[in-house]
Amino acid sequence: MAQLQPSPKLQALLKDFQQIASMSGYLNHSFDPPQLRLFFTLYGRVMVASPEQGLALTPQLQAWCEALSVRLREGSSCAIMPPQVQVSVPQTMPDGRDYLVATLTFNTKVTETSYLRIRTAVLAAYQDAVKMREVGFAEAPPQSAPEETPLG
């Protein structure tokens, strides 16, 4: 029995998702023609002034993760499975700065016809993670509804 090879389109979609994931995490995958199975890891990191401030911000980071999880599910029309969330204790970088990190892991199956809504939801999530890493928690909640996210 011959095994189906992934289409050139699915291979191109994989490269697109790998580029997105490189923004703030990584991606594992497997081909199951005519589908592409994607296993994402997204890191949400925020710098803090001290381990004590990190502990104080843990509930806010947890809430950020929960909101991001809901947006991933809604933005993908529930094609993305509910993320698993793990929030670390405050950690210290080699240069002495302290940070707090959340890890979201989630997976989905992509076909040539379903990739756009999944891509849009995943791109928005990774953009939010990059924004938080660069500027910390904003006063306003992240705006990552798919219709508001530029794809350009």
Could you state, in order of their start, the residue ranges of all structural domains in the chain?
Answer: 8-138
pLDDT bin (cut points 50, 70, 90) of residue 34 is: confident
Cβ atoms of 65 and 102 within 8 Å: the answer is: yes
Cβ atoms of 87 and 100 within 8 Å: the answer is: yes
pLDDT bin (cut points 50, 70, 90) of residue 151 is: very low
pLDDT at 152: 36
Does residue 2 have a pLDDT over 60?
A: no
CB-facing half-sphere around the CA of 149: CA atoms within 13 A: 22
Arithmetic mean of pLDDT, 28-53: 93
Q: pTM score, two decimals?
A: 0.83
Query: What's the mean pLDDT when you consider all of the chain?
Result: 87
AA letter at 27: L
Does residue 95 have a pLDDT over 80?
A: yes
Can you tell me the distance from the alpha carbon of 144 to that of 115, in angstroms, rounded to the nearest whole number?
A: 17
Does residue 33 have a pLDDT over 90?
A: no
What DSSP assignment string belongs to 66-121? HHHHHHHHHHTTT-SPPPEEEEPPPEE-TTS-EEEEEEEEEEEEE-TTTHHHHHHH
pLDDT at 129: 94
Strands 35-48 vs 25-32: parallel, antiparallel or unpaired:
antiparallel
Does residue 149 have a pLDDT over 90?
A: no
State the DSSP code for 151. Answer: -
Arithmetic mean of pLDDT, 88-94: 94
Question: What percent of the chain lies above the pLDDT cut of 70?
Answer: 88
